[in-house]
Structure 1
């Protein structure tokens, strides 16, 4: 049940690329979080695109957009869902799917910065309620956390 915010330069990813990328990012999240197979489970993976204008991103004090496509990804997930290996897998897979979504013919490399944040148990609110890990395991169908549902 991650919330994923993708910050990318304005105009790099058109509507079709954003739709493909949202699907690919959702697939990455479902794999690394071990989200259940029921379609309702995947509906709790939210992806938001936030585009920044040229001249609004700096690296080393300069504008890097002529040399590369910088993409910042904020990946928030419930505490206890991802371990070190899953986070490493997520960073690798996100780099791959975002790079694959860039426009054909754009020679600039995509460089991602993925910030993964575990939301402490009891600090996730949704639909007017606080969700704890057993609630999330039930709603999202986390395959590796189903023992919490019975508890």
Structure 2
């Protein structure tokens, strides 16, 4: 027997063991790949859902912010119109008395005019009502799109 024939079974055994270890490692790697691929697909789906929700919230916020800006613009337009044409605005007013109390006619009475505080409070309340309305609409929209499914 030559040296080659004596070493051949040992070399074949080592190669067989190496092949079995390689197959075993390949099977483990294949399982890890499948598991990681499914986890990656789940994360992609979660991220897509998150992006859609974020986009909806952004659209909702943009719409209500625009409506609030429009409401404030309308209030400012009404304020300017009221300043220019006070006879067309109906706000609770008081008449100041001029002269003596002996005259019974209306010709000496001053025109009815709301107090400055009443005017300021009126416009302030209009703005706050508009802001509150948009906040409530925004919260209702958030609840309807994000919380109720």
- TM > 0.5 between the two? no
Question: Normalized per residue, which structure has more strand?
Answer: 1
Structure number with the higher helix fraction is 2
Bigger relative contact order (CA 8 A; separation at least 6) = 1
| TM superposition score normalised by structure 2 | 0.27
Q: Is the radius of gyration larger for structure 1 or structure 2?
A: 2
